[in-house]
Structure 1
Amino acid sequence: MKKINATPSDLAIVVFNKFKNLKNQSHKPSEKILVNLFENLFYASLKTEENDFIKVTITLINSENPDPRPPKRIVKDRWNIINLEETIEFNVKNIVKLSKAADPWSSSLAVDFDKNGNLFIWGLIDQSIHYQNYLHHESETGPEQPGLFQTSITNIGTLLVIIDYELIATLKQNILISKYIDVFKFGKVSDIVKSHSKKLIDEVVEYLSNLSDFEKETWNNQVNILWTQTISRILIRIQNYHHGGSFIISKSKNNDLDIKHKIQYGRLYNALKNKIAFSIENSTISDLIYEHYLDDESERDIPVELYLDESISNNNKNESSSELKGAIRFVASLSCIDGLVVLDDQLKVKGFGAVVKNFNLPEEVYISKTARFSVRNLEPIKPNHFGTRHRAIFSHCWGNVGSLGFVISQDGDIRAITRIENKLIMWENIRVHHMNKSQKLKRILLNKRK
């Protein structure tokens, strides 16, 4: 869902409606408080501090009872609140000043409101790097989130609201987006991506030979997930450059492209293969140790050779994760040069700085409002409405059926493009971060049903 000419007040309404059915009403912010919160953050995003754009995350959290339900086991890297000796008024000037000490990858500002509805900053919350790593698909598990919700300034005039790991809404200047399309889970884009990842599944089949059918299916799903996450991570990295970029995934010969810098870079695919192979190997050995040597009735010692095999496979798995991270960043960095980054259907880079020799555009491009293709959910638009980067992707995908294109605008918008039958389809506001349904909102819904 997208609303044009939106304001921070519209964002406040969306967030307020998410919490209106909270069973515990004792510390729920009013709509007026939320408007004040988002207006201050929005105006702060328009400022600079020491010539840098403002980036900061705030956590709305109860200053009198910030941790009402701590887990039985407190992990070493769990979040912690560092109290300010004196509270600070929540306003644009103070947000801008404190943002320099609260990089979103390291911490967030703890914000609360008093009985009169006045907002104030009362501390900082550390260990945010683990939260960011999970959002960016760089860790497999995410830590619990403190407070009621988080709001981040991610760009000029851009606010993003997350409850736990569920993206609630984004305000981009005057556009409010409250629904993101998961093209990697459903529909034509998902089908294309899965057809590409099948090549990797076929290559790791030897590691699955001794597993049950259920285990094989589980690992096949893991390959699809890892493949999708890799594409998402490339998109996020390009988005974070704030200069825009584009790439295509195509098995065509690319005769319509003039590739300025031709290369053969297959390390991304090899890293994916290593990651899956070593993960399967490590999981198999770990399961063997657990089943035969670590259950309650077993008194046998773990053989040294088996213990070493597990240690080595675990080390190999970690190394392959690091290799994959480096390969992803390498591929994303190629987008810093004008032109397309060209990958084949195994995510092997064929070149970058590519331009279309002769534009071959359809009369109309269709914006799809859903991940699955449905004619009634299409909105036609003329391709000349877009810039050169978009039209280059349009041209290639129109002339090469099965090609999949991605465009990242300077303002951070991410679009996916492919041809379906006789229509060129584009999806806007696609979901790329690691998002899950909020446990807080689940509790709200359960309480409502009761």
Structure 2
Amino acid sequence: MKSYYYPNNLTVELLARWPATAAGLLPLAELEDFISVAYQASLLHEEGHPVRCRLVLSALEHLPKGTDPSESYVLELAAPRPYTEQEIRRLSPALDSPGSLLAVCTDPEAGLLIWGLLRSRNPWHETDTFSPVPAQLPLILDVSGPGNLVFYHGRYRVLTLQHGHVEGHGFVEYPVAWSHGRFTENIEVLRPQLVAAGVDFPADLMPLLGELAHHVTRRVVARVRASGHGGMLAYVPTASVARCVGLAATLRPKYPVRLPDEAHFYNGLQLAIIGRLAELGDVSWRRYQQAGDTRLLELEASLDQYAHLLADLMSVDGALVVTKQLAIVGFGIEVYAPQLALSQVYRALDATATRLQAEPADSGGTRHRAAYRLCLAEPESMAIVISQDGGVRFVQFHEEKAVFWEQLTL
């Protein structure tokens, strides 16, 4: 039987799991206060939305410096504010960006104080905001939902509290293994298009295409989670659409969309990004991330707008289905596979799903069961299910089983 954890238990657990080579944490009583306030803040709402934010426990002078000063910005308050759940609640709307952190320090006389905000250009766990020297990394606490806290040593996850339990089987990182090798059809589509455009076909294009697809997926998930309405996004091979989508098929759309014969919007964005990177002399994800090029910034904004469109379509009752080239197939889609017996599904306990844990299929909601049935009926498909409470599951067919990765926060 699982034990429920509260701030006092959590403090002891964090101290036990904190890396031995890392800088020391606060004394037990102060650390418990830090955690208790964050826990209470997680139960509050601001403007109708649950409080979500990230806290970094470090004084300004002790904050490790990244290698690129253009990556981050420090906003120091002229007068520090008391570290209370209500202050966190009031400040949480300013921390909506995944690159934002609320900075907290301890004062010998005043106790815990909020002294400023840190802002990174990219999500904080994907940047070089903090020193690469492990011993210098601070404690970061991600308040990811009501009663849900994720503790980091810099960008390295140490401890997760979810629904009252300390969990070891959820993933904060995007589960790349879920989609690894599953967007390869883009290569064959883009090859003749790039040749026709006079662009030399890069030797290793798949890493860039995979990261672009992941970027759009992250944006979709973040927007749906923020909206609070939940939804399901399914990916199917383009070649399977005619067979598995229809009035008497596995995927039965209320609002089908006419698929273009040639290039579609996302395909056009990929072509434009690759073409511009080729002009800049480096067709890679790293170059795309670092570019301050005006044209690439415009294309990134278009990618984000497309992600917002997908997220908005997910608010309609039923699933949104796209091809693995991210062309929209339809929305308001019912998954129909009553012939499949579904009693168990399997939780991935590691990033590669080499260790699995069986769970009853009815432990999730209607969307979850629809995703499991889809992946069993159409093994080349993939699905993402987002609950109204912000929980995210990435589902695929793996070794004759419906397997899911649970993402604790994004």
Coarse TM-score class (shorter-chain normalised): 0.7 to 0.9
Q: Is 1:367 aligned with 2:344?
A: no
Q: Quick one: which amino acid aligns to residue 401 of structure 2?
A: K
Work out whether 1:246 is the aligned partner of 2:248: no
1:195 to 184, 191, 216: 184
Q: Separation in 1 of the partners of 2:68 and 2:359? A: 54
In structure 2, the CA distance between the partners of 1:38 and 1:103, relative to structure 1 (3 Å rule), is: same
Q: 2:289 aligns to what?
A: none
- Per-residue deviation at 1:71? 6.8
Alignment of 1:331-410 (within 5 A): 331-361=310-340, 362-374=342-354, 377-410=355-388
Q: Does residue 270 in structure 1 map to residue 268 in structure 2?
A: yes
What does residue 92 of structure 1 align with?
85
For 2:30, the aligned partner's letter is: I
Residue matched to 2:4: 5
Q: Could you say what secondary structure the match of 1:216 adopts?
A: coil
Q: Partner of 1:381: helix, strand, or coil?
A: strand
Code of the residue aligned with 1:16 in structure 2: it is L
Equivalent position to 1:125, from 110, 114, 117 = 117
Distance (Å, rounded) in 1 between the aligned partners of 2:68 and 2:353: 46
Kindly tell me: are residues 54 and 429 of structure 1, through their superposed partners in 2, closer, same or farther at Cα, counting changes over 3 Å? closer
Deviation at residue 350 of structure 1 after TM alignment = 0.8
Which residue does 1:427 correspond to in 2?
405
What is residue 173 of structure 1 aligned with on the other side? 163
* Deviation for aligned residue 1:369: 1.7
Aligned residue for 2:35?
A: 38
Q: CA deviation at 1:334?
A: 0.9
Q: 1:250 to 1:100 in 2, by over 3 A?
A: closer
User: What are the superposed Cα offsets for residues 157-216 of structure 1, whole Å, 9 maximum, x if unpaired?
Assistant: 233334443344442331334554467444xx33452434434553565389758xxx62
CA distance in 2, matches of 1:385, 1:144: 39
Distance apart, 1:335 and its partner CA: 0.9
Shift of 1:222: 2.0
Q: Contact 1:204–1:276 (CA<8 Å) still a contact in 2?
A: no
Unpaired segments ≥5 residues, structure 1: 286-312, 434-450
SS in 2 for 1:79: strand
Distance 1:277 1:168, change over 3 A: farther
Q: Which structure has more strand as a fraction of its residues?
A: 2
> What is the DSSP-based 3-state SS (H/G/I as helix, E as strand, rest coil) of the residue aligned with 1:78?
strand
Q: Identify if the C-alpha distance between structure 1 residues 367 and 108 changes in structure 2 by more than 3 Å, giving closer, same or farther.
A: closer
In structure 1, what is the equivalent of residue 287 of structure 2? none
Letter in structure 1 aligned against 2:166? L
Give me the TM-score of the superposition, normalised by structure 1: 0.72
| Match in the other structure for 1:110 | 103
**Matches of 1:393 and 1:76, distance apart in 2:** 38
The reply on whether 1:79 has 2:66 as its aligned counterpart is no
Moved more, 16-25 or 245-254: 16-25
Going from structure 1 to structure 2, the CA distance change for 1:102 and 1:387 (only over 3 Å counts) comes to closer
Q: Distance in 2 between matches of 1:81 and 1:386?
A: 44
Distance 2:362 2:304 in 1: 36
Provide, for residues 368-427 of structure 1, a one-character-per-residue CA deviation record: whole Å limited to 9, x for no partner: 3233344xx332233233321111112222111211111111222221222235322222
Q: Is the 8 A contact 1:168 1:178 kept in 2?
A: no
Shift in CA distance, 166/398, structure 1 to aligned 2, threshold 3 Å: same
Identity %: 19
- Amino acid paired to 1:401: P
Measured after TM superposition, the shift of residue 14 of structure 1 is 5.0
Return the alpha-carbon distance in structure 2 between the equivalents of residues 71 and 225 of structure 1. Answer: 24
Structure 1 residues 168 and 243, CA gap change in structure 2 (3 angstroms): farther
Q: What is the rounded CA distance, in whole Å, between the counterparts of 1:258 and 1:120 in structure 2?
A: 55
**Cα shift readout 1:87-133 (whole Å, capped 9, x = no counterpart):** 5443334444x4367444396443222448x742142225x2x35x4
| 1:233 partnered with 2:226 | no
AA of the residue aligned to 1:370: D
Structure 1 residues 229 and 37: alpha-carbon distance in aligned structure 2, compared to 1, 3 A threshold: same
In structure 2, relative to structure 1, the CA distance for the partners of 1:378 and 1:56 (3 Å cut) is closer
Contact 1:169 1:179 in 2 (8 A): no
Q: For 1:12 and 1:196, how far apart are their aligned partners in 2?
A: 48
Give the Cα separation in 2 of the matches to 1:229 and 1:113.
37
Please tell me whether residue 317 in structure 1 is matched to residue 292 in structure 2: no
Residue in 2 that maps onto 1:258: 252
Q: When the two structures are superposed, what TM-score results if normalisation uses the length of structure 2?
A: 0.78
Query: Which residue number corresponds to residue 223 of structure 1?
Result: 209
Cα offsets for 1:242-291 (capped at 9, x unmatched) = 22111110123321222111224732332233222322222359xxxxxx
Whether the aligned pair in 2 keeps the contact of 1:397 and 1:404 (CA below 8 Å) is yes
Q: Rate the CA distance shift 1:94–1:420 in 2: closer, same or farther, 3 A.
A: closer
Choose 1 or 2 for highest CA Rg. Answer: 1
Who is 2:138 aligned against?
Answer: 148
Deviation at 1:49, TM superposition (A): 4.7
| Aligned 8 A contact 1:242 1:410 in 2 | yes
Which range moves more in the overlay, 319-328 or 10-19? 10-19
Q: CA deviation at 1:316?
A: 3.0
What is the deviation of 1:365?
1.8
CA–CA distance in 2 between the matches of 1:246 and 1:37? 36
Q: Corresponding residue for 2:279?
A: 281
Deviation at 1:331, TM superposition (A): 0.8
Moved more, 105-114 or 28-37: 105-114
Q: Report the AA paired with residue 210 of structure 2.
A: N
Distance (Å, rounded) in 1 between the aligned partners of 2:232 and 2:68: 45
Instruction: Find 1:134's aligned residue among 123, 126, 137.
Output: 123
Deviation at 1:326, TM superposition (A): 0.8
- Deviations 1:298-342 (Å, cap 9, x if unpaired)? xxxxxxxxxxxxxxx944322221211111111111111111001
